[in-house]
Amino acid sequence: MVWFYTILSVVIVSLISLIGIFTLVIKKESLSKILFILVSFSAGALLGDSFIHLIPEISETTGFGFNAAISLLAGIMVFFILEKFIQWRHCHVPTSKSHPHPFAYMNLIGDGLHNSIDGMVIAASYIVSVPLGIATTLAVIFHEIPQEIGDFGVLLHGGFSRAKALFFNLLSALTAVIGAVVILIIGTKVQGITDFLLPFTAGGFIYIAGSDLIPEMHKENKVGKSLLQLAGLVAGMAIMAALIMLE
């Protein structure tokens, strides 16, 4: 049953990479409005999953001691390094289909690593419990939607054709399946794997929300839109809180 839920979840998460196709038929103004709310909502969902599900689960099972704290900090550091890796190279040769910019490939590699980690943490969460797996999957999904739209735009800007951008974005997303299968196989053989991955996930989620999403929200200064952002943030946390009822 754990295998079924995990594979189903990571396949759904991977298919979100195809959302880029819909950005081609949506007006830029409408897309901006959608992303505006999604960024706030996904920040709330990531923080909610970290503080309402993952950290309490760690505290209940092993206690939030030194090892858990180091694992959480490792999650923050790894996602920081991944983000730096994506931004590593810059090319001054004009972009074209025959010469895609290296940053597009860097984005694919970094995103592939990120997605494989997503698959690992989803699998580790399902090993602990199905409700925790569902909560973590939803947090990943809410974050992946705006991220995949952004990744699709990066590939187009880097010189990829639309079809090629969709294909490689999906290929990168499917690394989540590999990450999940690895954890499902070794999870029963290596003791303590979830004791590391759960706080690691919390650290990664806190980093993404705090360093990527919330700063993006601060770019909006209008009172009305700021209130909508706050509502989206609270709604994301509320969804995670509501999932407690499944446990």
pLDDT of 1 above 60? yes
pLDDT in tens, 132-189: 999 999 988 888 887 777 677 767 766 777 788 888 888 888 999 999 999 999 876 7
- Sequence-distant (≥ 6) Cβ neighbours of residue 231 within 8 angstroms: 40
Of 173, 44, 151, the C-alpha closest to 103 is 151
> How much is the pLDDT for 8?
94
Instruction: Determine which of 27-31, 197-201, 242-246 has the lowest per-residue pLDDT on average.
Output: 27-31
pLDDT in tens, 107-127: 677 778 888 888 999 999 999
> How much is the pLDDT for 74?
95
pLDDT (mean) for 56-85: 87
> How much is the pLDDT for 106?
66
Residue with the two structure tokens 């090629």:
164
pLDDT of 89 above 60? no
Percent of the chain with pLDDT over 70: 86
Residues in the chain: 247
Place 199 in a pLDDT band, splitting at 50, 70 and 90: very high
Q: Which residues pair with 158 in a beta bridge?
A: none
Distance, in Å, from the CA atom of 144 to the CA atom of 242, rounded to the nearest integer, reads: 21
